[in-house]
Structure 1
């Protein structure tokens, strides 16, 4: 499915766009499931078309319930996603839950996971996205440790620079904006610097796949497990956990679908499913990822935090 050029593009630049991977009919189903579930889960707050509010930068919702069957099927049963992750990462992978997000504000430059944690995110915007409509913007090659460090060395030389993260007053960096149409799928590395600016109510579906760390053992096992728990922790978001669980109903899918059963087995080996509350999006866990609030939202090396 993945061409040599697409594979090389991902390895070199940290991202690749699969144009028209999903059909118009599939996008229509996915958008209907996601918007219907979001409106049901969040009600008036989600439906409010007023200006963005800082207190609610985004609405997130797991799309793994029986009421969202197509979205749930994409995670482990559709070769365009899970099998593609194996090709891009060059090894067996383990999935996160699929999730719908409605962004109500810009997102600043950041990386999703601490440097060294190997994973790929598949993102599907459900409407056309351009620079004026909140397109994804990336820094090509910034997933590579040496390039990542050099970017930060450059930004840090600005005399007026204060704080951490990328600020509006920082020296400019060469970004690449990704215009997409419904049906396009973006895949990007967990350590790639990215942001989105402009637009309001940007709506998307996404899923993460991490390199399965069991073979390597040691610290990576804990890092991947904690990353999956971190992503599956919806905190105090006010939606019905029974109606929109993370893994509970995925177990039922695994009884009928061999691919889902393999994914479930890999999650179980990591200890994700044994964590109390994880199936319903409220895991009781002690993170060992250092300081995720820093490493996950800025990507800054220790000397730049």
Structure 2
């Protein structure tokens, strides 16, 4: 089968399409004929070796965690799915799944076939939900819903979302905006996009100091900050924007410990109905189309280069099987 192959730790310019054996499903697993896969910044962290102590990889490595496709085989004892069903969901490299203690393993989604663990991280794809849209939902959607669950947001609160134009922001901002006043951080070209998501206002972090500008507009601080972009000490600095008793929720790896900061991981804060809830939110119009750009499998390496080098909005999706992704 054709797959995107990572030969060793490095940058996406070393990724290439290669031929690998079709993976066979083990106990409790299913084999999927892949239709579409969405890209995540975490893929780049893992393949660059940035988190190799926590997530060591075996090479050659096939990246990709978020998938939509068709079940083609069932492993021994696999329940809840049937051959021929359309599914979508999430799977992680074995070292990641073991490290955080989640029952979600994949052989690597950016391939014509991949194996996934059956369970709550996979769901049956509704007929009206396209494969491209479904593939764009899992990781960002799991994290976005976890932020909403953990945040304790109340009606009429003011919430700053840092990194609003990204994939997680495309889930968090529309759902928050139903009850809260959302301020987005972004760049001027993002303004119409984040307002379309539901943000009441946007601050261009390239044109002004974000902290100073937030406090100029809200001298007592905002009720909450959702951090989808800052890392390290910048997260701690962002707590200055909180009113007394406010809280900051952060989804970025390595978020420092602080009394006002809660780290959120969608993979461990999963609700049993998360995938079905995400599909329902898209189908009823609550969430906009998350996929903003698509690529062919032959261009998958370039897709990762774009993710690494460009300021992207929403989700980048690789179409592996054009016929199935229609």
For Structure 1 versus Structure 2, the TM-score category normalised by the shorter chain is under 0.3
More strand, by proportion: 2
- TM-score, structure 2 length as denominator? 0.21
Structure possessing the higher radius of gyration over alpha carbons: 2
More helix, by proportion: 1
More RCO (CA 8 Å, sep 6+):
1
- TM-score, structure 1 length as denominator? 0.22
